[in-house]
Amino acid sequence: MVRETKCAIIGSGPAGYTAAIYASRAALDPVLFTGLQMGGQLMQTTEVDNFPGYPAGIFGPQLMEDLRQQSLRFGTEIIQDDIIEVDFSDRPFRLIGHTGDITLADSIIIATGASAKWLGLENESRYFGTGVSGCATCDGFFYKDKSVVVVGGGDTALEEAFFLAKFAKEIHLLVRKDTFRASQILQNRLQQFPQISVHFNTELKDILGDGKKVEAVVLKTSIPNEEEKVLPVEGVFVAIGHHPNTSLFKDHLTLDERGYIKTVKGSSKTGIPGVFACGDVQDSEYRQAITAAGSGCMAALDVERYLSSRLENNGIFCLEPESTIATIITKNGITCLENITL
């Protein structure tokens, strides 16, 4: 089928839903595509303590359900489809979903977020789901009275370890440097969990198993001449950060050196007028649920202004971020000018 909309939102994390709340309240009748992981990264967390407005904390999946309900309340159309192809070269913009459906949109908000990074070991993918996991909330229950390792030294790794402490007998936290990247408040909380032992300067070199399940891991410290060590465990939880979900846009938009979408400072504008980006897909700095939500609000306001200025002025001028290419849109079409300086 072919659908038309004033505003298509790609992604269903805090940025996407917040954009949807604002866009639907502005009568833009937005269509939101959830992607494969509806609700985004917060669906894999336990308690979120730092989202303003929840003095007692809230579970990540509940927060996402609340945001979903709030965007439905104002009329957002939520579609469970994964956008697999985009065409920003003409107006209206064109999106193609996994279902084969085509969407023609006057404006686009990209809120595809970020995904968990993996170590890249062969046995990591081999034992994924049978001992290797990226989500303690989802899989922690299966490790009751077992020994596990958690890889990473950031907030996510510590939170994974705390959650696993409800079930596992022993948790070995592997930190590749001699310091944590995690916030001090979480580091302090470690003292409450005697079952968590921290191994600094330690990398996970391999995962061993019987072909069906994990039985041990091979560890290597940065101490010169120290031999690799085999540690018997039944679970491996990888929590080493995230990378932005931008592969769909790499041929269409300007990305920074780490693969994040470049936006004009202080706004959600990308290099293409009418295409906006918000949340973790364009933020390598803060990456918080609340900053993602805030930038989703900005994107919806930017869309509203873009659509109304297009109607009023019948022309838009946009300089790409940190480039000298300008785009002028008129009712007769699009013109690109190069070597522009302001």
Stretch that binds ligand NDP, among 21-29, 90-98, 154-162, 325-333 (CB under 6 A): 154-162
Segment 112-131, which members bind ligand NDP (CB under 6 A)?
119
Catalytic entry in 139, 280, 283, 302: 139
Segment 230-289, which members bind ligand NDP (CB under 6 A)?
240-242, 287
- Torsion on CA atoms 43, 47, 52, 54, rounded to nearest 10: 110
Segment 35-54, which members bind ligand NDP (CB under 6 A)?
49-50
Tell me: does residue 205 bind ligand NDP (CB under 6 A). no
Closest separation between CB of residue 39 and ligand NDP, Å?
16
Stretch that binds ligand NDP, among 55-63, 125-133, 145-153, 317-325 (CB under 6 A): 145-153
138 is catalytic: yes
Query: CA-CA distance, 86 to 261, in Å (whole number)?
Result: 15
Tell me: does residue 176 bind ligand NDP (CB under 6 A). yes
Closest separation between CB of residue 20 and ligand NDP, Å?
23
Contact predicate 207/127, CB 8 Å: yes
Catalytic entry in 49, 87, 90, 138: 138
Tell me: does residue 134 bind ligand NDP (CB under 6 A). no
Stretch that binds ligand NDP, among 132-140, 156-164, 254-262, 290-298 (CB under 6 A): 156-164
Closest separation between CB of residue 333 and ligand NDP, Å?
42
Segment 76-105, which members bind ligand NDP (CB under 6 A)?
none
CB atoms within 10 A of CB 138: 11
Query: CA-CA distance, 276 to 274, in Å (whole number)?
Result: 6
Q: Which is nearer to ligand NDP, 7 or 238 (CB)?
A: 238
Q: How many residues bind ligand NDP (CB under 6 A)?
A: 18
Stretch that binds ligand NDP, among 135-143, 155-163, 247-255, 265-273 (CB under 6 A): 155-163
**What phi and psi values does residue 40 have, to the nearest 5 degrees?**
70, -160
Catalytic entry in 29, 66, 101, 135: 135
Tell me: does residue 181 bind ligand NDP (CB under 6 A). yes
Quote the tokens at residue 313: 């002025």
Contact with ligand NDP (CB under 6 A): which of 123, 156, 268, 327?
156
Stretch that binds ligand NDP, among 64-72, 146-154, 248-256, 261-269 (CB under 6 A): 146-154
CA distances from 109 to 7, 50, 90, 172, 313 (A): 7, 25, 16, 41, 22
- Residue number closest to ligand NDP, CB atom: 154
Closest separation between CB of residue 117 and ligand NDP, Å?
6
Give the closest residue to 231 by CA, choosing from 191, 154, 173.
173
Tell me: does residue 155 bind ligand NDP (CB under 6 A). yes
139 is catalytic: yes
Residues that bind ligand NDP (CB under 6 A): 49-50, 119, 151-157, 159, 176-177, 181, 240-242, 287
Catalytic residue list: 135, 138-139
